[in-house]
Chain A
Amino acid sequence: DTGVSQDPRHKITKRGQNVTFRCDPISEHNRLYWYRQTLGQGPEFLTYFQNEAQLEKSRLLSDRFSAERPKGSFSTLEIQRTEQGDSAMYLCASSLEWDPRREQFFGPGTRLTVL
Chain B
Amino acid sequence: AQTVTQSQPEMSVQEAETVTLSCTYDTSESDYYLFWYKQPPSRQMILVIRQEAYKQQNATENRFSVNFQKAAKSFSLKISDSQLGDAAMYFCANQGGSEKLVFGKGTKLTVNP
Residues on A close to B: CB < 8 A? 3-4, 31, 33, 35, 40-45, 48, 50, 55-56, 58, 91, 95, 101-104, 106-109
Q: Determine whether the beta carbon of B47 is less than 8 Å from that of A45.
A: no
Q: Determine whether the beta carbon of A45 is less than 8 Å from that of B44.
A: no
Q: Determine whether the beta carbon of B50 is less than 8 Å from that of A56.
A: no
B98 at the interface (CB under 8 A from A): yes
Q: Determine whether the beta carbon of B101 is less than 8 Å from that of A104.
A: yes
Residues of A within 8 A of B43 (CB): 108
Residues of B within 8 A of A35 (CB): 101
Q: CA of A48 to CA of B98 in the docked complex: distance in angstroms? A: 10
What residue of chain B has the Cβ atom nearest to residue A44's Cβ?
B103
Q: How many chain B residues touch A (Cβ–Cβ < 8 Å)?
A: 22
Residues of A within 8 A of B16 (CB): none
Q: Determine whether the beta carbon of B50 is less than 8 Å from that of A42.
A: no
Residues on B close to A: CB < 8 A? 4, 6, 33, 37, 43-47, 50, 91, 93, 95, 98-106
Q: Determine whether the beta carbon of B45 is less than 8 Å from that of A106.
A: yes
Q: Determine whether the beta carbon of A56 is less than 8 Å from that of B103.
A: no
Q: Determine whether the beta carbon of B100 is less than 8 Å from that of A106.
A: no
Q: CA of A56 to CA of B55 in the docked complex: distance in angstroms? A: 28
7 smallest beta-carbon distances between A and B, as pairs: A42-B103, A45-B100, A106-B45, A108-B44, A106-B44, A103-B47, A42-B91
- Across the interface, A109 reaches (CB within 8 A) one of B44, B46, B106, namely B44
Q: CA of A101 to CA of B48 in the docked complex: distance in angstroms? A: 12
Q: Determine whether the beta carbon of B101 is less than 8 Å from that of A43.
A: yes
Q: Determine whether the beta carbon of B50 is less than 8 Å from that of A103.
A: yes
What residue of chain B has the Cβ atom nearest to residue A100's Cβ?
B52
Q: Determine whether the beta carbon of B95 is less than 8 Å from that of A102.
A: yes
How many Å from the CB of B59 to the closest CB on chain A?
Answer: 11
Q: CA of A35 to CA of B100 in the docked complex: distance in angstroms? A: 9
List 14 extra interface pairs beyond A45-B100, A56-B100, A58-B100, CB under 8 A.
Answer: A33-B101, A35-B101, A40-B106, A42-B4, A42-B104, A43-B45, A43-B101, A43-B103, A45-B101, A48-B99, A56-B98, A101-B47, A106-B46, A108-B44
